Amino acid sequence: MPFNGRPKTLIAPSTGYPTTRLRRPRQADWSRRLVAENALSVNDLIWPVFVHAGDEPRIPVESMPGVMRYSVAELAEVAREAADLGIPVIGVFPYVEGELKDAQGSYAVADNNVVCQAVEAVKNAVPTLGVMCDAALDPFTSHGHDGLLEDGSILNDETVEILVRQSVLQASAGCDIISPSDMMDGRVGAIRKGLDEAGFQGVLIMSYAAKYASGFYAPFRAAVGSASTLGSASKSTYQMDPANSDEALREVALDIAEGADMVMVKPGMPYLDIVRRVKDTFGVPTYAYQVSGEYSMIMAAAERGWLDGERAMMESLLGFKRAGADGILTYFAVEVAKRLR
Ligand SMILES: NCC(=O)CCC(=O)O
Ligand SMILES: [Mg+2]
């Protein structure tokens, strides 16, 4: 914007060294804080949590140091702690036992499945905490794909029908935000319509709008038990090619047109350019998912003493804010919230 009728560039640093010294404001903590352009707040955090149907309160996830699979009862407890720390939302991800999986992912739409139990328990314990659930079949299918598989292909429209049922079921259990993470075409519009017809006009949709076929999801797949079912199969016919950037804008545009309230870019750190483009182009609430592989890389290097884990954690999250994200899904959420208090 012009200022006093002159373009900003002309009134920006015009003299240069030695009059202008950019080190001057960096000289003390107070001055660095005064000129800081971005800040991370507890309000920016979404905490993804894993839940299992058994009684064991906490089962450590080997591929993600410090991360647990909680029982439903324990999840209600830790959800309360998260809310007390000021975290606005948790995302519930199920670990599903092998015998409950089939090719159709039937358990995803089964009444009172572990996701429903978890959502109900959390909403009963902490009604003020937002709860978000994925719409996708990968934790539930015997082949580990996010959709229905026929002759080696993932069926789009048939999958969308199931995702609508899954979304309505989760909304009935009390879920506040449905997050379609499957990357089928048209699913956001179909889910919006399904939710509205079932009376859930108030349930939000945060779409995984630009979700890339990434190698950084591996530790998560071990956590939800889809690593063994998926094997070496690829999700490249529905998730995005890491080579693409313009295509992400088309994905986001369609999801907004179909009714997404918020959009997400995933993974996070290798895709900060996409976060920035999405935010600048659309100006909608934009989120980034710092995925399991990003988390585990930092944790593993910290465990070896190769980097200062806490510092890397805070710096990585600030990077999302700088890129324009309104919030971050991160397995560090509780640690960060404690630090920010
Ligand atoms: N739909 C949720 C995920 O796929 C999470 C991936 C990760 O954290 O690696
Ligand atoms: Mg799409």
For the stretch 269-315, pLDDT in tens is 999 999 999 999 999 999 999 999 999 999 999 999 999 999 999 99
Of residues 211, 235, 279, 321, which has the active-site annotation?
211
Complex ipTM? 0.96
Which has more confidence, 228 or 218? 218
Rounded to whole angstroms, how far apart are CA atoms 291 and 307? Answer: 19
pLDDT of the residue at 290: 98
Q: What is the dihedral of CA 144, 327, 314, 316, to 10 degrees?
A: 60
Segment 190-203 shows an average pLDDT of 98
Of residues 101, 266, 279, 321, which has the active-site annotation?
266
Q: Is the pLDDT of residue 223 over 90?
A: no
Q: Which CATH number fits domain 42-340: 3.20.20.70, 3.40.630.40, 2.40.70.10, 3.60.70.12?
A: 3.20.20.70
Rounded to whole angstroms, how far apart are CA atoms 264 and 278? Answer: 9
Ligand 1 pocket mutation pick from 217, 229, 230 by most atoms within 8 angstroms of CB: 217
**How far is residue 135 from each of residues 95, 185, 200, 259, 315, measured CA to CA in Å?**
15, 13, 15, 15, 30
Q: Where do the domains of the chain lie?
A: 42-340
pLDDT of the residue at 13: 57
pLDDT band at residue 1 using 50, 70 and 90 as cut-offs: very low
Tell me, using a 6 A CB cutoff, whether residue 292 lines ligand 1.
yes
b/e per residue 124-143 (b: at least 16 CB within 10 A):
ebbeebbbbbbbbbbbbbeb
Which has more confidence, 75 or 16? 75
Question: How many angstroms does the Cα of residue 310 sit away from the middle of ligand 1?
Answer: 22
pLDDT band at residue 7 using 50, 70 and 90 as cut-offs: low
For the stretch 47-61, pLDDT in tens is 999 999 999 999 999
Q: Is the pLDDT of residue 5 over 60?
A: no
pLDDT of the residue at 3: 46
Question: How many angstroms does the Cα of residue 255 sit away from the middle of ligand 2?
Answer: 6
Is the Cα dihedral 182, 188, 190, 195 positive or negative? positive
pLDDT of the residue at 226: 84
**303 appears as a binding residue in the annotation:** no
Q: Is the pLDDT of residue 228 over 90?
A: no
